[in-house]
A and B are shown apart, each in its own frame.
Chain A
């Protein structure tokens, strides 16, 4: 892996790391081989990001990096140097749930809940890029997330209702 430009090697092989996490500046040190997933969960205690397949197939570990959903199980922590990361913990603003979170709850799209954070971030990125997706565009946008409990029907409905609600707000 190419060493990020401003990363400085420090003692014990730790690398310096600066990035923006859920709107706050973070400056810390990290072993260069630590995955972003483990870094967020074990070092920063943000356990809302889940690991499930650990090979980039299920989307449970999605975080938004500069607004794009990324598998945090496949990224190394130093790769977010100078970038902006949003995790599920950063979605609610002033204790008010994001409309996507609210719709997931209202539509019964949450069962065991393990895929939920990843799915919500997936939908968040999709709707930010395309506020009025067609059914097909939703399917394309969400097919990177595996859910084993719900059969996806309610998830799709939650996403579509969230899009409608966000559209109404704009008008």
Chain B
């Protein structure tokens, strides 16, 4: 069925929702889910009333600032804070001695000191915290702190890090870890292949560049330490803060202010522990801390730059037979989420393509550069650039159309992906066909307005495992409650970082219970009020927290129907709840409102609340072969097509047309799904064409928006979205998710189009005009 759901009624968006029933999940007509309800938090944001971290400051609070390392790699011989403490207005100066717990943090491996005691490993490492009456005094006091360093030779490239005589960044050496995948006999299949292509691709360091700088406040009242800082997983942050500060969990309350973007950049701990340590020391005082743009950029982890050696073998007819891939991952100074990123690179090494023999080796190497960790795409974004690039090269070598070659090798329902997991509902082909049709692939024209302009067409396909996967505990919880006023409250610890999960949660609850959206009050992200819902990452919140809300709402509904049935003296299976009222389906005049149900229910001792837990299992990988029958709970599919012009005199790229198709299972809010797709594509355009953190001697040379180039409204073309809905039996109302795949598909589609235009590949990202021009020169 074809249902255009562009609620704004503009053909400009060219949106079509198509659905092909997988037969696995059927839903009836819905009232709230599937509607582009306006964002519940939009009015506050559009009027400036919404409070973000920095908006919680007041002149009368104390202000903190953090001292950062002067060297990328050095031993600390001593820290003298006496002069700083004497400065008028300074209230306290903290060093590692003032951190009461382990003084360590890190999401997977606790290898990073909150305040360094013996050694610094990159320029963002922290040494001391000053708390003062004003921010100006705190800044002045930082300069009075004397740190005695013994500089060590810094290790800035992976080659240097792997030398036998390389200085050791961590006691155990410079290798974070390895990941391997062995499927079939790739070297042998490669020897037998008719055609082999091979290349090395280097991706760049990318910054999240969310606009809302790290900022927040904390206060310890003697019983409870309350920290208000934006994160992506409050309950895990609370665990990390508790360990670092040696406090019991019950003593910590973490509250999420409104959050201006995250994109993975708030997964690692930022300022929470600094604030907590300072607040514990200064009982009763409210302490504020904010980063400047440069501090935020210098301190925060980045997207991993990865060097990818990719070898791909095929038969004469284009059937893929073997892939051998090596990833060298620059980890920077600390582990962060690196090992999981490495696994995601290996488990997504051949993307949506069916390859019987695959060998992958991933090596994560420590350097004295910025630590690298989570960013939208999480290892799969870099990988996609490699596999799609090689597919293009293979098509040229085979003399085959690049779309035909791709289509031939796509994973279909019931096929195994690289991890050995069977994908029951693969819609890669459907998505791919939709974009090919939209861009009219067969009739594409290479005519350009001038001879120095070359046109190119690029395509990409995404197959992305949703959730943490690999047996890592992955659960969401939610609680639904009917208030005495008949309001449906939904509690979830999930963080809305701007993506709009507030609507996702509210719309699912409203739909399930049968109330209008205005009667739902979502209460999010406060560890004192809300149950744990896991992180806002891995494209998981709709699938996981959405399901938990669905379960809780369904339980609550059972209770409400029960109350209504006994009160109205009707049969419970004849009671329906719709539009905020319960009634008998045969005698609609026999009805009561939710407010009445709340009153009656309370009198009769009903709890009027219900908890939902969603915890679909995955299985750990075999560490030798990387195989897992259930590596991920489900897979997401999407496909992009792009048409662009390359100016061969300047190397500039102009995107003329961009099409993105994603199968989201069910669009809980189609307008927001499109917002996620368009935003992901814009970030992908940034990564493909302009964004790059330039490091020199362990120092970021472009820590501000003047030199770190982000896409503006002029750089982003109209992004035509095709939202496909093939329901997933494990998601709420069949929904899957949408966060990361739009970014993953973009880089490869653009690079593929540049290759199509100029006939020579760009091997180093981003494809800046200079790199494109040089590639043309060498061609």
Interface residues of A (CB under 8 A from B): 41-43, 46-55, 57-58, 60, 87-89, 91-92, 97, 101, 104-108, 110-117, 120, 138-139, 142-157
Contact = CB atoms under 8 A, between A and B. Distances in A.
B259 interface: yes
B419 to A, nearest CB: 31
B543 to A, nearest CB: 20
A52 B38 contact: no
23 contacts: A42-B59, A47-B51, A48-B47, A48-B48, A53-B704, A54-B704, A88-B47, A88-B48, A89-B47, A92-B47, A104-B46, A106-B8, A108-B38, A110-B39, A111-B675, A112-B210, A114-B260, A148-B710, A149-B499, A151-B682, A152-B682, A153-B718, A154-B675
B458 to A, nearest CB: 18
A97 B261 contact: no
B47 A114 contact: no
Contact of B263 (A60, A142, A148): A148
B45 interface: yes
B108 interface: no
A95 B47 CA distance: 10
B712 A143 contact: yes
B516 interface: no
Contacts of B679: 111, 148-151
Contacts of B259: 112
B46 A115 contact: no
Interface in B716-737: 716, 718-719
Given A42-B57, A52-B212, A54-B292, A113 B47 contact: no
Contact of B211 (A52, A105, A106, A156): A52
Nearest to B686: A148
A148 B8 contact: no
A55 B43 contact: no
A39 to B, nearest CB: 11
Interface string B556-581: 00000000000000000000000000
Given A112-B211, A153-B719, 5 more contacts: A113-B258, A143-B713, A149-B679, A151-B675, A154-B675
Interface string B46-72: 111111101101110000000000000
Contacts of A117: 46, 48
State the majority secondary structure of interface residues on B: loop
Contacts of A148: 209-211, 261, 263, 679, 683, 710
Nearest to A56: B706
A154 B678 contact: yes
Interface size class of B (residues with CB under 8 A): 35 or more
B703 to A, nearest CB: 10
A146 B12 contact: no
B48 A52 contact: no
The 5 closest A-B pairs by CB, nearest first: A48-B48, A112-B498, A113-B45, A114-B260, A151-B678
A139 B714 contact: yes
A142 B713 contact: yes
Q: Which of A106, A143, A149, A156 has the most chain B CB within a 10 Å cutoff?
A: A149
Contacts of B325: none
A113 B212 CA distance: 9
A57 B42 contact: no
B704 A113 contact: no
A55 B212 contact: no
Given A55-B706, A57-B706, A43 B59 contact: yes
Contacts of B500: 111
A155 B671 CA distance: 13
B497 interface: yes
Contacts of B54: 41, 47, 50-51
Contacts of B55: 41, 47
A154 B12 CA distance: 10
Contact of B713 (A48, A104, A106, A145): A145
Given A54-B293, A57-B705, A110-B39, A153 B47 contact: no
B639 interface: no
B581 to A, nearest CB: 29
Contacts of A114: 52, 210-212, 260-261, 498
B753 interface: no
Contacts of A156: 713
A149 B680 CA distance: 8
Nearest to A89: B48
B680 to A, nearest CB: 8
B211 A115 contact: yes
B41 interface: yes
- Residue picked from A43, A46, A113, most chain B C-beta under 10 Å: A113
Contact of A113 (B13, B498, B672, B716): B498
Contacts of B45: 110, 112-113, 116
A55 B704 contact: yes
A146 B59 contact: no
Nearest to A57: B705
B212 A46 contact: no
B710 A111 contact: no
Contacts of A120: 46
B42 A104 contact: yes
Contacts of A97: 43, 46-47
Nearest to A95: B47
B172 interface: no
B704 A152 contact: no
B705 A146 contact: yes
Contacts of A110: 39, 41-42, 45-46
A105 B8 CA distance: 12
Interface string B5-26: 0001010110000000000000
B103 interface: no
A105 B43 contact: yes
A52 B263 CA distance: 16
B478 interface: no
B554 interface: no
Interface in B665-713: 671-672, 674-675, 677-683, 704-706, 710, 712-713
Nearest to A114: B260
B260 A113 contact: yes
Nearest to B46: A101
Contacts of B671: 108
B664 to A, nearest CB: 16
Contact of B52 (A50, A150, A153, A157): A50
B368 to A, nearest CB: 26
Contacts of A143: 712-714
Contact of A105 (B13, B42, B52): B42
A55 B293 contact: yes
Nearest to A142: B713
Interface in B76-135: none
Nearest to B681: A151
B61 to A, nearest CB: 10
A53 B12 contact: no
Contacts of B499: 111, 149
Interface string B322-360: 000000000000000000000000000000000000000
A113 B674 contact: no
Contacts of A91: 47
Contacts of A154: 674-675, 678
A156 B10 CA distance: 13
B59 to A, nearest CB: 6
